[in-house]
Structure 1
Amino acid sequence: MADNYTQISREWWVEQWLGLLDSYRFKKRLERARVYAREGNVRSIEFQGQKVFARVQGTEVEPYQVSIWLDAFSDEEWQYAIETMSEKAIYSAKLLAGEMPANIEKVFTANGLSLFPFKLDDVRSKCSCPDKANPCKHIGAVYYLLADRFGEDPFVLFQLRGRTKEQILETLRQMRSRGTEKQKSGGETQIPKLQYPLKVEHFWQYDEPLESSLVVIVPPPSSETVLDVLGTIPLANDATENADAKTTASETVMKYLNTVYQAVSQQAIVSAMKVGE
């Protein structure tokens, strides 16, 4: 068996599972576990409900019995999680295609759950070997083979939380189907009739006073004015008669427009401040 556990390219959910193993501080034990997994010491591995049962060949004649499981979600918790999945088409589409959505964890955290274990201690395990350490190399070997299973079928992780692939997909289909039927039964959207007919000439007219709390006066995000954006007006570049000889007609006009712009801005602020008085 090739050592797939040091490859760079892996599915993100496999990467997350292996990252959980790499957080284990006894690195030598993990190395021995990888050797066991790579050399085929795991004789069998099967799922029974939410638990994983495996037989791992050690130094004894008979293989050791290993069991691994996670805390399962309740029926109510799964109902909430799958309802959240059904609300977004991307989740349903990915899962129905046998893929794990990249942000699937958000579905569970939104319902106060966590699909992935936070730490290795959250993974329950037991081995019949005499080694009191947990995880021992036999349990570790099964951990690594589970990573392979996750890569082949991401629904294995859901199964460890108490729901099989078939159960999740069937519930998703039912919820999506009910949502579609509800939309159809609603019929066409009725456009409400206006109490008064619209008149084009009154479109910009509003006779009611504005609520003063709705008026918020804030400084502009930039000190740059419309005149600054437009730049110098291209007028005749001759000196004016009543100004300094170095002042062009364009500069004189721009200076005047700046004065007008400031006056209008101040008047607008004053008018806004009087709203509701």
Structure 2
Amino acid sequence: MPDGRPFWADEDYTPRKPLPVPGGGIQIHSTRGTVARTWWSARFLDTLTDLGVGGRLSRGRTYARSGQIVSLDVAAGAAVALVQGTRPKPYTVRIGVRTWDKSEWTRVEQALVDDAWYAAALLAGGMPPEIEELLGGLGLALFPESGATDLSMDCTCPDVTVPCKHLAAAFYLLAERFDADPFEILALRGRDRETLLENLRERRGTTRAEIGPSEPSASVPPLADVLDRFWTSAPVDTLPPAPPATSPDAVLDQVPELPVRVRGKRVTDLLRPAYLRMADEP
């Protein structure tokens, strides 16, 4: 840049197509239209819009759909991706989210133990909308609320725009990962799936130990007095909540990616229409 301007600002500079990823990169399943398929994934993208980021996300949609992402790893406080651009070496993308500290996670885990329905819904592949209200009562937010303190973005590419198309592509893939496994959202906040479930099991065990063996309530009649109606249905208002609805092809988003392709397409993408048709069968 002899005149002090970056090369991408030169009027004579012609944008180049990104280099293909050897063996094929990671593609989002959405080939057109809306990327998010669940409320929590859509909420994540809406949050980015509220933070002033969403208006620039479309820059990376083509990258995400054409398989320019080499890898994406989600851990406590950060999602790190390698995105293939126009240079031989992929760019490193980092999306940082503030993790909850130990005392905050203690409150969250206790709240999940107190109402086991939330953990059951997560294990079923869903995220109850009420969880935002639950966390709000603890003074916490499931998704980033402030770009200055709760969300950070960085890419090794020379583009000064934030987010660049490489960051935007990673956001789209991250949203799709949230579709497949809502535990990934909590992993960003500091607890991966295995650690969180183990902590919940330990907390439930501790709670039982502290309470001690339960004594029969005086209001519970002897079994001999209720044998004639023991197997009848419980009143409607005492039934457990229905499990969260999931897409019939959601299981395909949770299986490991097969290392083979059929006519250039992923096996899961070929199976998806069949899963959707089977759900429509009477």
Q: Smaller-chain TM-score range? A: 0.5 to 0.7
1:86 aligns with 2:141: no
Which position in structure 1 is the counterpart of 2:274?
none
Query: Paired residue for 1:129, among 157, 164, 184?
Result: 157
Q: Which amino acid aligns with 1:176?
A: R
Query: Paired residue for 2:171, among 133, 137, 143?
Result: 143
Q: Which amino acid aligns with 1:169?
A: L
Query: Paired residue for 1:109, among 136, 147, 164?
Result: 136
Aligned residues: 191
Would the alpha carbon gap of residues 93 and 114 (structure 1) be closer, same or farther in structure 2, given more than 3 Å must change?
A: same
Contact 1:69–1:124 (CA<8 Å) still a contact in 2? yes
Q: Which amino acid aligns with 1:13?
A: W
Residue aligned with 1:114, SS: coil
> Cα distance, 1:93 vs. partner?
2.1
Instruction: Measure the CA separation in 2 of the matches of 1:101 and 1:123.
Output: 23
Q: Which amino acid aligns with 1:73?
A: W
Normalised TM-score (structure 1): 0.61
Query: Paired residue for 2:192, among 148, 151, 164?
Result: 164
Residue aligned with 2:171, SS: helix
Q: Which amino acid aligns with 2:101?
A: S
Contact 1:72–1:162 (CA<8 Å) still a contact in 2? yes
Contact 1:85–1:107 (CA<8 Å) still a contact in 2? no
Q: Which amino acid aligns with 1:153?
A: D
1:19 aligns with 2:36: no
Which position in structure 2 is the counterpart of 1:40?
67
1:52 aligns with 2:79: yes
Instruction: Measure the CA separation in 1 of the matches of 2:106 and 2:98.
Output: 16
1:65 aligns with 2:92: yes
1:74 aligns with 2:98: no
Instruction: Measure the CA separation in 1 of the matches of 2:126 and 2:54.
Output: 31
Would the alpha carbon gap of residues 65 and 155 (structure 1) be closer, same or farther in structure 2, given more than 3 Å must change?
A: same
CA deviation vs aligned residue, 1:93-134 (integer Å, no higher than 9, x gap): 223434322211122111111111125554211101111221
Residue aligned with 1:185, SS: coil
Residue aligned with 1:6, SS: coil
Would the alpha carbon gap of residues 104 and 54 (structure 1) be closer, same or farther in structure 2, given more than 3 Å must change?
A: same
Which position in structure 2 is the counterpart of 1:118?
145
> Cα distance, 1:44 vs. partner?
1.4
Would the alpha carbon gap of residues 4 and 117 (structure 1) be closer, same or farther in structure 2, given more than 3 Å must change?
A: farther
> Cα distance, 1:83 vs. partner?
0.4
Structure with larger RCO (C-alpha < 8 A, sep 6+): 2
CA deviation vs aligned residue, 1:151-203 (integer Å, no higher than 9, x gap): 11111110111111111111222223334455552423468xxxxxxxxxxxx
Residue aligned with 1:59, SS: coil
More helix by share: 1
1:154 aligns with 2:145: no
- For structure 2, the 5+ residue unaligned runs are 1-26, 220-282
Contact 2:68–2:84 (CA<8 Å) still a contact in 1? yes
> Cα distance, 1:65 vs. partner?
0.9
Say which one has the larger Rg: 1
Would the alpha carbon gap of residues 95 and 29 (structure 1) be closer, same or farther in structure 2, given more than 3 Å must change?
A: closer
Instruction: Measure the CA separation in 2 of the matches of 1:29 and 1:9.
Output: 16
Contact 1:96–1:169 (CA<8 Å) still a contact in 2? no
Query: Paired residue for 2:204, among 169, 176, 196?
Result: 176
> Cα distance, 1:92 vs. partner?
2.9
Q: Relative to structure 2, which stretch is displaced further, 10-19 or 20-29?
A: 20-29
Instruction: Measure the CA separation in 2 of the matches of 1:106 and 1:147.
Output: 21
Instruction: Measure the CA separation in 2 of the matches of 1:56 and 1:8.
Output: 19
1:7 aligns with 2:23: no
Would the alpha carbon gap of residues 40 and 24 (structure 1) be closer, same or farther in structure 2, given more than 3 Å must change?
A: farther
Residue aligned with 2:88, SS: coil
